[in-house]
């Protein structure tokens, strides 16, 4: 699912120029990036028989936007625009190209960060999925 999600995000015009990563890249992070992170999962057997199992898992996705200057609002608004692209991608393709039964944005947390010369908006997103394994 994770590789398929990155492929879908790469195809979105609204994410052109945004660094996308299956995980942490080996080089420097760009000022706008979306990275996949931690996965937490649970499994259960289907109601009848023991062959089929379902897996429910949450994939963490990290969005970051850094801007020069001391105005937080610009970074926040751009980060929220990137979040909207991720949400629109999942709404348009809730099976993530057939890799899961469902995937949807469950919740997110945005935090502002600052240095002397920059402002950053970081959003941690939880994507909830259900797959048959």
Domains of the chain: 2-132 (3.30.2000)
- For the cut 70, the answer to whether the pLDDT of residue 51 exceeds it is no
52 in Cβ contact with 130 (< 8 Å): no
pLDDT in the model for residue 50? 62
- For the cut 80, the answer to whether the pLDDT of residue 46 exceeds it is no
User: DSSP string spanning 47-94?
Assistant: SS-SS-EEEEEEEEEEEEEEEESS-HHHHHHHHHHHHHHHHHHHHH-T
pLDDT in the model for residue 133? 84
- Section 59-74 average pLDDT: 97
58 in Cβ contact with 73 (< 8 Å): no
pTM across the whole model: 0.92
């Amino acid at each position: 699912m994770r590789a398929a999600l990155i492929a879908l995000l790469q195809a979105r015009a609204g994410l052109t120029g945004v660094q996308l990563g299956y995980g942490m890249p080996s080089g420097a992070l760009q000022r706008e990036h979306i990275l996949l992170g931690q996965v937490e999962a649970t499994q259960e057997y289907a109601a009848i028989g023991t062959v089929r199992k379902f897996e429910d898992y949450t994939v963490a996705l990290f969005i970051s936007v850094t801007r020069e200057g001391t105005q937080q609002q610009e970074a926040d608004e751009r980060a929220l625009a990137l979040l909207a692209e991720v949400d629109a991608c999942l709404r348009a393709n809730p099976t993530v190209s057939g890799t899961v039964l469902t995937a949807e944005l469950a919740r997110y947390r945005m935090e502002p960060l600052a240095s002397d010369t920059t402002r950053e908006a970081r959003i941690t997103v939880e994507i909830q999925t259900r797959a048959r394994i």
